[in-house]
Amino acid sequence: MELYLAILLFTATASITPGPNNIMIMASGINFGIQKSLPHLLGICLGFPIMVIAIGLGFGLVFQTYPLLHELIKVIGVIYLLYLAWLIASAKPSAISTDASKPLRFQQAVLFQWVNPKAWVMATGAISAYTSSGDGMLGQVLFIAFAFSITAGVSVGIWLIFGAGLKRCLDDPLHYRAFNIAMAILLVSSMSPVIATLIKQYLI
């Protein structure tokens, strides 16, 4: 029982802290509202537990065998997140209610977990800390994935509701633009450790 409570505490703490998923869902809440952002939310709640199960069942060994593949995913993730940051920063309030500007789709949110550095840290950290080799490992991995699906749903939902609530306070287009730029900066900042590591590895 103590182990299960520890897992729930870890997943709740890891899920509620700022990261690419939370920053993007808050920006989506303020730009598109709760209803249109639900596919994005559900994609996170399903995509991340799937990633946890895949890593727990040995997918991480593939990256240990082929470290270059892991590095490639890191680079793709950085590029994709920078692109998303630019989209958030350049979003215009006049485009919010049009089809020209759309929230992240369910499939995109599911696939995004694989290029999200924080998701990798959370998944590998949980698997390393709360599983033990043996017959019971599958059950442990499944419980961790289940715990993340619950705590991520609550935590990411809070960020979405908070973003949607802020929409009422940002009637001025200049305030909208300032908020979106701030979210873009936070998104890039959440990637700064990964970006710094890649620069040290390949550019210095």
What tens-digit pLDDT sequence spans the chain (204 residues)? 677 888 888 888 878 877 888 888 988 888 888 999 999 999 999 999 999 998 888 765 666 677 777 677 667 767 777 777 787 777 665 443 433 367 889 999 999 888 887 788 788 778 877 776 666 778 888 999 999 999 989 999 999 998 888 776 666 677 777 777 877 787 677 667 667 777 877 776
pLDDT value for 165: 82
Calpha distance 140→107 (Å, rounded): 27
pLDDT value for 101: 63
Q: What is the DSSP string of 18-36?
A: --HHHHHHHHHHHHHHHHH
pLDDT value for 91: 67
Provide the b/e sequence for 57-91 (b: ≥16 CB within 10 Å).
eeebeebeeeeeeeeeebeebbeebeebbeebbeb
